Amino acid sequence: MNNVLRGLYVGRFQPFHLGHLEAVKWILGRVDEIIIAVGSSQYSHSLKNPFTAGERITMIIKALEWAGIDRRKFLTLPVPDIHTHSLWVEHVVSLTPSFRIVFTNEPLTRRLFEEDGRFEVSPIPFFKRELYSATEIRRRIILGDDWEGLVPKPIAEYIREIKAVERIRALASTDKFRK
């Protein structure tokens, strides 16, 4: 019998930022291992989802290693959307190792896992939510405002390395963020 207490943390991580990092640390204070499910993994190259699943997984690994989190404590997996809410929890379960607790602040994710009944569902404290928001980071990138201080240092370097600043600005060239 496996006595490891494993939790699930689902997010889009567009990009992975310091708030996400604090959430992972908080979760790891409550479970032995964390599965980080990269949601909406099939989407990329849009303003809402500019990064690929592979880029997001790379960001998560870089950030957690930078923070000194043991690689054996986390697993990152892509989870594509299936657009059928009644089947979504089973879809996630089919793609992941077993887990007992779901950590989320997202209302639909909370509701679906609570209605399923097999899992404990726990909220996560917000860490400077007004700053640590992927939407805010993307907005700042578009407008040329400071964004690098909102993500772990290796993530800022990676975003620049893959030319995502240029990608996001190009995606926004006709978007509502343009002034």
Helices H, strands E: what count in the chain?
7, 5
Q: Average pLDDT, stretch 52-58?
A: 98
Task: Report the b/e string of 86-111 with b at 16+ CB within 10 A.
Answer: eebbeebbeebeebebbbbeeeebbe
pLDDT at 117 over 50: yes
Q: Average pLDDT, stretch 101-111?
A: 96
On whether the CB atoms of residues 121 and 135 are closer than 8 A, the answer is: no
pLDDT at 136 over 50: yes
Closest CA to 37 of 47, 45, 46, 27: 27
pLDDT at 179 over 70: no
- Greatest CA separation for the chain: 58
d(CA 62, CA 14): 15
- Spell out the domain ranges in the chain: 6-174
Specify the pLDDT at position 83: 92
- Please provide the size of the chain in residues: 179
* CATH value of 6-174 in 3.30.465.10, 3.40.640.10, 3.90.850.10, 3.40.50.620: 3.40.50.620
Count CA within 13 A, CB hemisphere, residue 151.
28
Tens digits of residue pLDDT in 80-95 = 999 999 999 999 999 9
Specify the pLDDT at position 2: 64
